[in-house]
């Protein structure tokens, strides 16, 4: 760890996990994420691979040991495989993962594995091709995404699935996903629909709570809850009958677990975002591009993180909490 010690906020929460958005661009238009006409960042604003690597080293020096690459869609970023290789060389980084829509995994899974990527979370919101393509706003890609998932498994990358559950849209598929989890020995994580969508379609009535999801699954399969890891936003369950696979629920709306949150985010254009639920972000780029030393950058990050928002109890009741702080694709989910 660098001389200045860990990255800590005014409530004593310590950052251990960094989510890096490597691009705001995406080849999909998921209805709960992208606006119809996204305005992309100017390419000059986007951090280079070297800049991302330098900042990651500084974060790791402050005790961050898990990094997840996200976006936009991380696999549309040119050089993303090189980036994985560059990050893998950072000593002190224990885990490197990625969240992806899976479209480019069919060709990139092998190179990503060779570069050192250990695990991917693939977002797959329906097992019905027509519905899936309606949700993601692109036609004719379902089979390709499934091929990508198979390829990732074949080359030895650990795969989890993310499903954003929306009432009246895909909540009738929860048990189908659970069956898939059991058959494939995978973890499927059901995510509550968060009010961070580009088109502002979110309404409280569209949220299916983690509690409802667990209840529904428990009617069919006996579940045993895993001990919760500190800082985890996911409640995880295994199957009591010993079946492989498991499920998780990410209750960011109904039970956000802010009190021991250990995340910090870096946007594609170099802003430190201490909390998803707060509008505050802190632009590192001027410092980064004006010859600042690592110590100066570290001091800036520490000051920004110290201002981290206390958090929310539930986004359903807390009327004072701004509902559409930002769209997910701009910060990385």
Residues that bind ligand SAM (CB under 6 A): 26, 32-33, 70-71, 73, 99-101, 123, 162, 164, 191, 193-194, 196-197, 328-329, 332-333
Nearer to ligand SAM, 16 or 160 (CB): 160
The whole-angstrom distance between residue 204's C-alpha and the CA centroid of its chain comes to 22
Residue ranges in contact with ligand SF4 by CB under 6 A: 26, 28-30, 33-34, 71-73, 101, 123, 136, 328-329
For residue 193, the partner it binds in ligand SAM, ligand SF4, none, with Cβ less than 5 to 8 A by kind, is ligand SAM
**Cβ neighbours for 274, distance < 8 A, ≥ 6 positions apart:** 9, 264, 265, 280, 282, 304, 305, 307, 308, 309
CA distance 179 to 51: 43
Tokens of 35: 């606006």
Question: In whole angstroms, what is the distance from residue 180 CA to residue 188 CA?
Answer: 8
- 254: partner contacted, choices ligand SF4, ligand SAM, none (Cβ within 5-8 A by kind): none
196 binds, among ligand SAM, ligand SF4, none (CB under 5 to 8 A by kind): ligand SAM
CB of 329 to ligand SF4, least distance (A): 4
Which residue's CB is nearer to ligand SF4, number 33 or number 194? 33
Q: How far is the CB of 313 from ligand SF4 (least distance, A)?
A: 26
Residue 162 burial (CB < 10 Å; 0-12/13-18/19+)?
Answer: buried
Rounded to whole angstroms, the Cα distance separating 120 from 73 reads: 13
Report the partner that residue 24 touches, choosing among ligand SF4, ligand SAM, none (CB closer than 5 to 8 A by kind): none
Token reading at 249: 């629920």
d(CA 164, CA 216): 16
Nearer to ligand SF4, 34 or 96 (CB): 34
> Which burial class, exposed, middle or buried, applies to 310 when counting CB atoms under 10 A from its CB (0-12, 13-18, 19+)?
middle
Residue 162 interacts with, from ligand SF4, ligand SAM, none (CB under 5-8 Å by kind): ligand SAM
């Amino acid at each position: 760890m660098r001389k200045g010690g860990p990255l800590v906020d005014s409530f004593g929460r310590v950052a251990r996990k960094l989510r890096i958005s490597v691009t705001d661009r995406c080849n999909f238009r998921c209805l709960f994420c992208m606006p119809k006409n996204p305005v992309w960042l100017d390419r000059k604003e986007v951090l280079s691979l070297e800049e991302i690597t330098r900042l990651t080293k500084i974060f790791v020096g402050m005790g961050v040991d898990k990094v997840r690459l996200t976006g936009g869609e991380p696999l549309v970023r040119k050089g993303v495989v090189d980036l994985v290789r560059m990050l893998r060389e950072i000593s002190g980084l224990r885990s490197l993962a990625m969240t992806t829509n899976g479209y480019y995994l069919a060709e990139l899974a092998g190179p990503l594995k060779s570069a050192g990527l250990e695990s991917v979370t693939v977002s797959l919101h329906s097992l019905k091709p027509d519905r899936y393509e309606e949700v993601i706003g692109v036609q004719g890609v379902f089979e390709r995404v499934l091929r990508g998932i198979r390829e990732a498994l074949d080359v030895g990358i650990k795969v989890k699935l993310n499903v954003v559950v929306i009432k009246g849209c895909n909540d009738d598929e929860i048990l189908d996903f659970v069956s898939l989890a059991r058959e494939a020995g995978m973890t499927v994580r059901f995510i509550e629909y968060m009010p961070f969508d580009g088109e502002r379609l979110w309404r409280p009535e569209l949220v299916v709570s983690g509690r409802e999801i667990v209840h529904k699954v428990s009617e069919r399969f006996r579940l045993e809850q895993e001990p919760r890891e500190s800082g985890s936003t996911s409640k995880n369950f295994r199957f009591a009958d010993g079946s492989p696979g498991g499920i998780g629920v990410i209750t960011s709306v109904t039970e956000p677990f802010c009190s021991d949150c250990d995340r910090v985010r870096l946007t594609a254009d170099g802003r430190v975002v201490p909390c998803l639920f707060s509008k505050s972000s802190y632009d590192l780029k001027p410092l980064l591009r004006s010859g600042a030393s690592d110590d100066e950058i570290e001091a800036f990050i520490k000051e920004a993180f110290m201002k981290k928002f206390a958090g929310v109890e539930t986004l359903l009741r807390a009327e004072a909490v701004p509902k559409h702080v930002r769209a997910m694709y701009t910060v990385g989910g």
